[in-house]
Amino acid sequence: MGLTSSAMAGNSMLTEAAVHPQERNCWQDGAMTSPAQPSIIWTGTYTPDGGGRAAGIGAVSAGADGTLEWLGTAVKANSPSFLAVHPTLPVIYAVAEQAGTVQAYRRSGEFKLEAFGDQQPAGEAACHVAVDPLARFITVTCWGDGQVLLYELTRDGSITGPLTTPPSVDPHGSQTPGEPRPSRAHASLMLADGRVMTTDLGHDTLRIWTYEPGSGLRADHEVALPFGSGPRHLVQHASGSVFVVSEYSIEVFVLRADAGTFELINRGPATSGGSLPGDSAAEICLSENGDNAYVGVRGSNLISVLLVKADGAEVAPLADFPSRGDWPRHHLVRGQWLHVAHERSDDIATFALDPVSGFPGPLVNTLRTPSPTALVPAS
């Protein structure tokens, strides 16, 4: 979600004069000082309609030495807070969180994008988009009204109209006297077996779906997590286990399917040093070898490194490291590098990962870039 008014008041607007000379192009559309054949990382962002300072989807060049270089705004768009890349085509999808829409974009140059196809309606505060690895559909989850939506894709990657799903029912309803808790769908994960798992922050549930062409998502089963945990983001380990980080309780839950039905088999803290009032967990991702998981915690502004144990049946926190910025909204492991997007301090911090421990080492690079909310490799 975007910055609150109080958070915005506590974070002064950056000006070009305050940017390091080598970083000045961060604020200029189209500035390009990239190598001949860079690896591109697209950045989701908040624009002024969401309390941010960006102009749209950003483009960053990722060097072999871990350094990042700002290329410019790839396309102007309103608060494209999360992105997903088509598995075979030069197409990406972005939710417009404040407008409640989703749009397809295609590459029109080395780091430029252009909108194509019709902008499709989504739900209130559409905050996450994911792509089926077989390029059949995308899913959009909506924090504001709890909707989980599916959009089938055409051969050129364009989006067809939304197919809706049944609303979530709070499994903890009897524990919440008075006003019912709102559903807060937050993220989707394409599972290795072809199904889809979505999180609901408001109802503390994981919903598993089966795709039916022409009809959308059919409810398969649900897993209720502890009351007030707030499942946010999730990732699947090579073992088949799914690791879910909870925004509110700052834990990692481990789920595994038994005869097709997922069950909660383990849970534990996401950090080794605990958390402070006002903290909230954000992203979880894995090292390339699957031996470590990395969790970002906003407020305390840290990255926690966890050890994956027992063939993916357990994760245990090892150590916490300063993220070296304010509000680590999203992070990405790219080979031996860890890139952390700080929404409120307007930067991406890069660390080298120790090949043995998996711990982030000294800060390698800080790239100034406005209001980053997601880091998604172009390929």
What tens digit of pLDDT does each residue of 219-274 get? 999 999 999 999 999 999 999 999 999 999 999 999 999 999 999 999 999 999 99
Q: How far apart are CA 124 and CA 141, in angstroms?
A: 9
Q: What is the pTM of this model?
A: 0.90
Q: Give the Cα separation of 305 and 291 in Å (integer).
A: 10
Q: Is the dihedral of CA 42, 48, 53, 55 positive or negative?
A: positive
* C-alpha to C-alpha distance for 90 and 230, rounded to whole angstroms: 34
13, pLDDT greater than 60: no
pLDDT of 6 strictly over 70: no
Q: Per the structure block, which two tokens stand in for 138?
A: 């995308």
CA distances from 101 to 142, 191, 196 (A): 10, 24, 21
CA 33, CA 96: separation in Å to the nearest integer? 28
Mean pLDDT for 304-326 is 97
* Number of Cα atoms under 13 Å in the Cβ half of residue 327: 19
Summarize pLDDT for 300-309 with one digit per residue, the tens: 999 999 999 9
- Tokens 């699947």 identify what position? 236
* Total domains in the fold of the chain: 1
Q: Is the pLDDT of residue 117 over 50?
A: yes
Strand intervals (E) in 225-301:
231-236, 242-246, 251-258, 261-269, 280-286, 292-298
Q: Considering the domain boundaries, does residue 283 fall inside one?
A: yes
What torsion, rounded to 10 degrees, do the Cα atoms 147, 208, 94, 338 define? 130
Domain CATH number, residue 300: 2.40.10.500
Predicted confidence (pLDDT) at residue 31 exceeds the cutoff of 90: no
Residue from 146, 60, 53, 26 nearest 378 by CA: 60
In the prediction, which pLDDT does 37 show? 54
Judge whether 364 lies within some domain. Answer: no
- Quick one: which of 208, 255, 194 has its CA closest to 229? 255
**pLDDT average, residue stretch 191-208:** 98
Structure confidence at residue 38 (pLDDT): 62
Give the mean pLDDT of 149-166. 97
Averaged confidence pLDDT in the chain: 91
Tell me if 70 is assigned to some domain: no
Q: How far apart are CA 54 and CA 2, in angstroms?
A: 12
pLDDT value at 354 more than 70: yes
Domain that holds residue 314: 225-322
292 domain-assigned: yes
Give the CA count within 13 Å in the CB-facing half-sphere of 373.
29
Mean pLDDT of 121-141: 98
Greater model confidence, 330 or 18: 330
CA distance 170 to 129: 23
Q: Is 193 domain-assigned?
A: no
Rg (CA), the chain: 19
| β-bridge partners, 117 | none
- Alpha-carbon span 189 to 131, nearest angstrom: 9
Cβ-in-10-Å burial (0-12, 13-18, 19+) of 53 comes to middle
pLDDT band for 333, please (50, 70, 90 cuts): very high
Q: What is the dihedral of CA 82, 338, 228, 205, to 10 degrees?
A: 60
The average pLDDT across 104-114 equals 96
The two three-digit tokens of residue 28, written as one number: 């200029």
pLDDT of res. 27: 31
Report yes or no on 269 lying in a domain: yes
pLDDT at 10: 33
Q: Closest by alpha carbon to 3, among 52, 45, 47?
A: 52
Instruction: Give the model's confidence band at 334: pLDDT under 50 very low, under 70 low, under 90 confident, else very high.
Output: very high
Quick one: average pLDDT of 185-190?
A: 98
* pLDDT beyond 60 at 28: no
Residue 288 lies in a domain: yes
Whose structure tokens read 């994008």? 113
For residue 327, being part of any structural domain is answered with: no
Question: pLDDT tens-digit profile of 269-292?
Answer: 999 999 999 999 999 999 999 999
Per-residue confidence (pLDDT) for residue 178, from 0 to 100: 75
Calculate the CA dihedral of residues 147, 206, 238, 43 and round it to 10 degrees.
40
